[in-house]
Structure 1
Amino acid sequence: MVNAEVIDGLKTRLAGEAARIGFVSIGFAPAQDDPARAARLQEWLTAGFHGQMEWMEARAEVRRGPQSMWPEARSVIALGMSYAPSHDPLALAEAPEHARISVYAQGADYHDILKKALKRLARWLVEEAAAAGLGETRLKVFVDTAPVMEKPLGAAAGIGWQGKHTNLVSRDHGSWLFLGAIYTDIPFAPDQPHDDRCGSCHACQEACPTDAFPGPYRLDARRCISYLTIEHKGAIPLEFRKPMGNRIYGCDDCLAVCPWNKFAQGAARNKAFLPRAELVSPRLADLLALDDKAFRELFSGSPIKRIGRDRFIRNCLIAAGNSGQSSLIGPVRALLADPDAVVAETARWALDELAALALEVRPSP
């Protein structure tokens, strides 16, 4: 028979150890599948809002809930690590010669940092559970790459709520949380789900440059700049190129305008997430000159590396076309004969945009 008092004590100590490792949020949720959560996922997939993210649909039955993946699971431990920026994520909006990289990608790859921390916490839990007389504990750790719905699980565990931009919002850390989860066969007492505190605010909806929100709490990824610059393969549709501005990897607009960010403390984040100087305000001219080798060297240890040089240069060319900077004509023209057909097409578009702007501003004779 499981001793509830022993498990409650272990839960308290686990929270303390998580904080010591660097997690700023921890909560506990039941592992049972949630039919309402599964229905919302299916509705989103049926609408085609996942775009080219085929893996979302391919493993939809496993995403329904923890026990659909692992029937032995009894609890979900939801954890958050802060990456709150110390600078304004929107500061480069009026600096067209520079590229905008999402805050989360300016430092070390969060997959690696969180996975290492989760494994460390998991080892601690196994050892402490055994010492407490609970026997051999089984568990699984997840960071973003498995069919796990971290955001609704985080909300169910009480570490935040899913805001109208569909991301998790924390009262203490705003919209700046990396999420991880541990599934375990220990039946921890669940915490209360977090109340929705978005109220009448629609700032995130209004900030979106591409109208990616069909309504509050609904995201059409096919229109989202984060999706377009990271997940979308091939040429980016023309209707989205101008709204992309100088964003070349991700987009922080809907997160950055959230009023709850005023409580977020940049000092609380893991030091590994501190931005690399060369990624805070990179010059488009420098990025356009990257070949595959230079791209891999520059983005070693960065999540940006996974999209590859060609997709990255495609994004940079769109930013160049939107820049109005005649100094970028040369770097763009050099890519017209690029071996990658999408890069070459995007270079032609960017050159046309720059040429058209040059004609507009040329003084009359």
Structure 2
Amino acid sequence: MTAEIRQAIIDTAQNEGFAQLGFCRPDSVPEIANRLESFVAQGRHGDMGWMGDRMNWRGNPAALWPESRTVIMLAEPYTPAHDPMQVVGMPDRAAISVYAQNRDYHDIVKKRLKRVGRWMIDSFGGEIKVFVDTAPVMEKPLAAAAGLGWQGKHTNLLSRELGSWFFLGAIFTTLELPTDRPADENCGSCTACLDACPTDAFPAPFQLDARRCISYLTIEHKGPVDEPLRSQLGNHIYGCDDCLAACPWNKFAVEASEMRYAARADLVAPRLAELTGFDDAGFRAHFSGNPIKRIGLSRFLRNVLYAIGNSDDPALLPHAQAHTENDDAVVSDAARWAVGKLSSRD
């Protein structure tokens, strides 16, 4: 009977829009506690103090909800229809991570998970909790344990069937269901993702130092970026897809079925000159419902100004000069740095 329940859950989740799902036990990743402790002890989490908080839950999914018996990990593709690396070669444009080029995935995925979860309760009883990247849950190790893929040398999850471009969601349930075999690691001798990183954020294969990661620096890091790293940010203003895009397994990436993940035309390669004129209200309106909104105007302007400084385009000099006296010290520092870079070119 449990096998029939499992298959019914698979069918329902796929009808809801999830491309793939797998099942594991909450205690199936005992190794992550030591890995997380080492990561934090080395300071590789940077300013993300929350990674050290509630480490007993983050490092032990079984402790997060002791009544749970099965974790269902679900994958939802957001594969881009365009080449995400093309904009990296356009210095007067801004590079925005593919996942942030339209609606915030947290809301979309969580609503899908809740619909599947409610159907599970109505059909089979039990209790459920759903998580999408906002609770102390180690989604990638759990997804690997559930057979969805493996954590590649860039530490992101890879799949033979889905490539790199997919979101993860989790349903913890009190139902005890048959589990899947963990996925095998299939990176081989390839180092494409490591070689693609502009900031050398990987101390070794399968290890990440967030303090050098462009996604961390442009999203999570609140203060000024260390000057030696600023030039390596290029034109990335929110996140970075370089290591994901470099992966050869993307030849198997499946098309995204959710239209709300399709890139907004104005966010694929926006002109840097057009991104420096927002006031707070304009910024919030422009990025309403988009992940970029959460970093706030000041951090956004800081990132744009670093990109302007890296553009080697004197036409952008006035846009940097306009912020040298900004009320936010981090923004004004970024503006003066950009002015210095562009002026030294002359």
Residues 168-179 of structure 1: pairs in structure 2 closer than 5 A: 168-179=157-168
CA contact (8 A) 2:26 2:70 kept: yes
Distance in 2, Cα, partners of 1:292 & 1:59:
34
Q: Which residue of 2 aligns with 1:187?
A: 176
Give 1:35-74 correspondences, 5 Å limit.
35-74=30-69
| Structure 1 residue ranges without an equivalent (≥5) | 1-5, 130-135, 359-365
1:12 paired to 2:7: yes
Q: What whole-Å deviation, never above 9, does each CA across 1:107-164 have from its counterpart, x for those lacking one?
A: 11000100110001101111110xxxxxx41110000010000000000000111101
Q: Which amino acid aligns with 2:42?
A: A
Q: Tell me, yes or no, if structure 1 residue 210 matches structure 2 residue 205.
A: no
Partner of residue 133, structure 1: none
Given that residues 32 and 74 in structure 1 are in contact (C-alpha distance below 8 angstroms), is that contact kept between their aligned partners in structure 2? Answer: no
Distance 1:269 1:192 in 2: 27
Give the secondary structure class of the aligned counterpart of 1:233: coil
The C-alpha deviation readout for 1:195-226, integer Å capped at 9, x for no partner, is 00011111101110000000011000000000
The answer to whether the Cα contact below 8 Å between 1:163 and 1:198 also exists between their aligned partners in 2 is yes
Helix, strand or coil at the partner of 1:81: strand
- Provide the rounded CA distance (Å) in 2 between the counterparts of 1:323 and 1:54: 33
Tell me the amino acid that sits aligned with residue 226 of structure 1. S
CA distance in 1, matches of 2:30, 2:38: 12
Contact 1:150 1:179 in 2 (8 A): yes
Q: TM-score, normalised by structure 1?
A: 0.93
1:27 counterpart (14, 19, 22): 22
Aligned to 1:312: 300
Deviation at 1:65, TM superposition (A): 2.2
SS at the partner of 1:179? Answer: strand
- Pairwise CA RMSD of aligned residues? 0.9
Tell me if structure 2 keeps the 8 A contact 1:82–1:176: yes
The 2-side partners of 1:94 and 1:207 are apart by: 14
Structure 2: runs of 5+ lacking an equivalent: none
Describe the SS at the equivalent of 2:24.
strand
Kept in 1, the 8 Å contact 2:96–2:236? The answer is: yes
1:97, CA displacement in angstroms? 0.8
Residue 43 of structure 1 aligns to a residue whose secondary structure is: helix
Say yes or no: does 1:347 pair with 2:343. Answer: no
Listed as ranges, the matches of 1:224-263 within 5 Å are 224-263=213-252
Q: Percent identity?
A: 53
Partner letter of residue 252 of structure 2?
Answer: F
Residues in 1 aligned to 2:93 and 2:27: alpha-carbon distance in whole angstroms? 47
Q: What letter is aligned with 2:312? A: G
Give, in angstroms, the shift of residue 289 of structure 1: 0.9
Number of residue pairs matched by the alignment: 346
CA drift of 1:33 comes to 5.8
Give the TM-score taking structure 2 as reference length.
0.98
What is the rounded CA distance, in whole Å, between the counterparts of 1:214 and 1:280 in structure 2? Answer: 30
Give the distance between the partners of 1:262 and 1:299, measured in 2 at CA: 31
Residues 285 and 222 (structure 1 numbering): CA distance in 2 closer, same or farther, change over 3 Å? same
Runs of 4+ more than 4 Å apart: none
Match of 2:113?
Answer: 118
Q: Does 1:270 align with 2:258?
A: yes
Query: For residues 350-361 of structure 1, what are the structure 2 equivalents within 5 Å?
Result: 350-358=338-346
Match of 1:297 in 2: 285
Per-residue CA deviations over 1:212-250 (Å, capped at 9, x if unaligned) read: 000011000000000000000110111111111100000
Q: Is the 8 A contact 1:79 1:181 kept in 2?
A: yes
Deviation per CA, 1:12-35, whole angstroms, max 9, x where unpaired? Answer: 011011111110110000112633
Quote the Cα distance in structure 2 between the aligned partners of 1:285 and 1:123: 47
* Partner of residue 335, structure 1: 323
Query: Equivalent of 2:143, from 154, 170, 177?
Result: 154
Whole-Å Cα distance in 1 between the matches of residues 305 and 342 of structure 2? 11
Contact 1:99/1:319 (<8 A) preserved: yes
Tell me if the contact between 1:230 and 1:250 (Cα under 8 Å) persists in the aligned partners. yes
CA contact (8 A) 2:75 2:168 kept: yes
The amino acid across from 1:350 in the alignment is: A
Residue 66 of structure 1 contacts residue 73 of structure 1 at CA under 8 Å; is this kept in 2?
no
